[in-house]
Amino acid sequence: MSFVTTEHFTLQGARAATIAESTSRATLFLGTMSAGMVALGLVATATAIGAAFYTFGLILLSTLSFIGFVTFDRVLQSGIEDLRYARRIERLRSYYLDVAPELADYMASVPPSRRLALQGLHGGGWQVFRTVAGMIGVVTSVLTGSAAGLLAVLASGRSVVVGFAAGGAVGLAVLATLMLYQYRTWGTAGQEPPSGREAGGPQADQ
């Protein structure tokens, strides 16, 4: 029993680490994006939307988009890792009840179908927009669409209509791709058997 409770505590600590990493990565990304937007505005004012603005804007927005993609992927990995830790904790809770069934009346226990609702979450396809990865995905889509729109403006002789059309199309395509990828990744993780032999502890690259 002492070993099981220690394992439970270790898994809970690992869950806290994944949540902290997701939060810090999202904060770092949003902070970098905010600073980049301020810099872009200053360049626009200094160059009167000239050639230097377009050059700087393309480089900046492309870089921010790349940071957004890698942040989205890592935050999604952390979310899946957190899910696996939570499922292993649930298995340990089941062990407690097997050893001491009289505790059943004092420990919260709900069926898997009700766990999201108990946390105030609704599930379904729209849930992908409510995750940290979903938030990063939306912002990244806007950045990618903005970069594509800026490039289209240059290619079309500075036509604003073409820029908005191209940027909107690219942004929506990127958003749909990221949300579909996230939805399928969560679906695959949800179907994994709750094996007690899943790799434990924080990943080496954290």
pTM for this one? Answer: 0.81
- State the total domains in the chain: 1
Per the structure, the complete domain to which residue 146 belongs is given by 2-190
Both structure tokens of 53: 């603005």
- What pLDDT does residue 118 have? 54
Specify the range with the lowest mean pLDDT, choosing from 41-55, 87-101, 160-174, 192-206: 192-206
3-state secondary structure the chain: CHHHHHHHHHHHHHHHHHHHHHHHHHHHHHHHHHHHHHHHHHHHHHHCCCHHHHHHHHHHHHHHHHHHHHHHHHHHHHHHHHHHHHHHHHHHHHHHHHHCHHHHHCCCCCCHHHHHHHCCCCCCHHHHHCCHHHHHHHHHHHHHHHHHHHHHHHHCCCCHHHHHHHHHHHHHHHHHHHHHHHHHHHHHHHCCCCCCCCCCCCCCCC
- Greater model confidence, 30 or 4: 30
Residue 203 lies in a domain: no
Residue 170 lies in a domain: yes
Residue 144 lies in a domain: yes
Residue 184 lies in a domain: yes
Q: Which amino acid is at 174?
A: V
Q: Model confidence over 95-124: pLDDT tens digits?
A: 887 888 887 777 766 666 665 555 555 566
Residue 197 lies in a domain: no
Residue 181 lies in a domain: yes
Question: Distance (Å, rounded) from C-alpha 162 to C-alpha 160?
Answer: 5
Closest CA relative to residue 171, chosen from 195, 151, 152, 144: 144
Residue 199 lies in a domain: no
Judged against a pLDDT cut of 70, whether residue 195 lies above it is answered with no
Contact 123, 42 (CB under 8 A): no
Q: Model confidence over 65-83: pLDDT tens digits?
A: 999 999 999 999 999 998 8
Judged against a pLDDT cut of 70, whether residue 50 lies above it is answered with yes
Residue 198 lies in a domain: no
Q: What is the mean pLDDT of residues 52-60?
A: 92
Cβ neighbour number for residue 104 with a 10 Å cutoff: 10
- Greater model confidence, 124 or 51: 51
Alpha carbon dihedral 78, 80, 81, 83, in 10-degree steps, equals 130
User: What value does the CA radius of gyration of the chain take, rounded to a whole number of Å?
Assistant: 22
